[in-house]
Amino acid sequence: MTVTELAGYVDLIPWHTFGFCASNSAIFKAIRGCSKVHVLDFSVTHCVQWPTLIDALAKRPEGPPSLRITVPSVRPPVPPFLNVSCEEVGQRLSNFARFRDVEFEFNIIGGDNNNIALCRNSMYDTFHRYFESLLTSLVDPHQLSSLFRDDEVIVVNCQNWLRSMPDDDEEQSAGSSLRDDFLHTIMGLNPAIVVVVDEDADLNVSSLTTRITNCFNYLWIPFDALETFLPKDSAQRIEYESDVGHKIENVISHEGCQRMERLESGAKLCQRMKNVGFSGVMFCEETVKEVKSLLDEHASGWGMKRDEEMLVLTWKGHNSVFATAWVPGGLGEN
């Protein structure tokens, strides 16, 4: 899809924008007073999140910080797909930041973007091999010295990303977890804040029967939400429902490295983060107010609730998406 189509896609229902809003607000608070900020962006929505943050930073009373955003050259082979390169996305962000008088730099790490084409051709293991290589580079002193600068504050943004890392029951019992390796690596970077947003469902199990049941009990939500305001022949609805169908197919029909949809519930994610050594950061009332204002623009079935460390997007009372914020151990807020 085009950039314009992608913007309409993420605004259709608050499935993505809920996480953008909660994350950006938490990030904005965490970097208050900082003059140089470096965001490591692990997300599947092609940087659509960042113009809103750039705009907010431009309005800071003390003036905007310099902002660097670094993205991996390879993303999980899951929708939405964009028909422009990472470089073009970065150029668009640079143009917007220049318009808002925010000093900006965009970086891509991890090799040639041609790998993305390989992923789309069902070579799911390309993503896993790439990411293992990326983790190695993030703990290599020589690589770190070229990627990070001493005077920068580091922010890590994970939007619908952790689910793509192998971590089901069998792998955990074997003592292998790329997901935990990633989180330990991020911990070692000593970030000012880590935000994790994902869908609140438990599909990270080896049992096919359990996955089918959990999938059925969760993925009715986007279909029901679209039904409330779009006709069945709507091109936007058809595209969105097709992407949900892609997810269902992956959950049910694939195993091993080809099964990318390995969601875990927000409660399990919170426990995982604590096990690694992170402490939760409570979302402030200002963030809650911003999220509620966003939801007011959508159908009345959408709501929000607090659940310990999480903010949770709900549809007719059912959990849909969770947002969490974390800092390295011992620095969390109550």
Place of tokens 């997007």: 313
Q: Among all chains, which residue has been given the structure tokens 């996480």?
A: 19
Q: pLDDT at position 332, please?
A: 52
Give the whole-angstrom CA distance, residue 200 versus residue 310: 11
What DSSP assignment string belongs to 246-298? HHHHHHHH--GGG-------HHHHHHHHHHHTEEE-PPPHHHHHHHHHHHTTS
Low-confidence winner among 35-44, 89-98, 257-266, 281-290 (lowest mean pLDDT): 257-266
- Using the 8-state DSSP alphabet, how is residue 64 labeled? P
pLDDT tens-digit profile of 56-85? 999 999 999 999 999 988 888 888 888 889
| Two tokens, residue 184 | 């330990």
**224-230 average pLDDT score:** 92
pLDDT band at 176, cuts 50/70/90? low
Is a pLDDT exceeding 70 seen at residue 334? no
pLDDT tens string 94-127:
999 999 999 999 999 875 444 444 444 445 666 7
d(CA 107, CA 109): 7
What are the chain's domains? Answer: 3-200+265-328 (3.40.50.150)
What's the confidence (pLDDT) of residue 258? Answer: 80
Q: Please tell me which residue, 316 or 334, carries the higher pLDDT value.
A: 316
Backbone angles phi, psi at 278, to 5 degrees: -85, 155
The confidence score (pLDDT) of residue 119 equals 43
- Structure tokens given for 79: 């929708």
Provide the CA 190 distance to its chain's centre, in angstroms.
Answer: 19
Return the residue matching tokens 């070229």.
146
Q: What is the mean pLDDT of residues 201-229?
A: 92
Whether pLDDT at 13 is above 80: yes
The sign one gets for the Cα dihedral 88, 90, 96, 99 is negative
The 10s digit of each residue's pLDDT in 307-329 is 888 999 999 999 999 999 999 98
Among 164-178, 194-208, 211-225, the minimum mean pLDDT is found in 164-178
pTM above 0.85? yes
The pLDDT, as a whole number, for residue 115 is 42
Residue 137 pLDDT level (bands cut at 50, 70, 90): confident
3-state secondary structure of 40: strand
Q: What is the pLDDT of residue 177?
A: 80
**pLDDT-based confidence at residue 145 (cuts at 50, 70, 90):** confident
User: Environment class of residue 44 by beta-carbon count within 10 Å: exposed (0-12), middle (13-18) or buried (19+)?
Assistant: middle
Percent of the chain residues topping a pLDDT of 90: 62
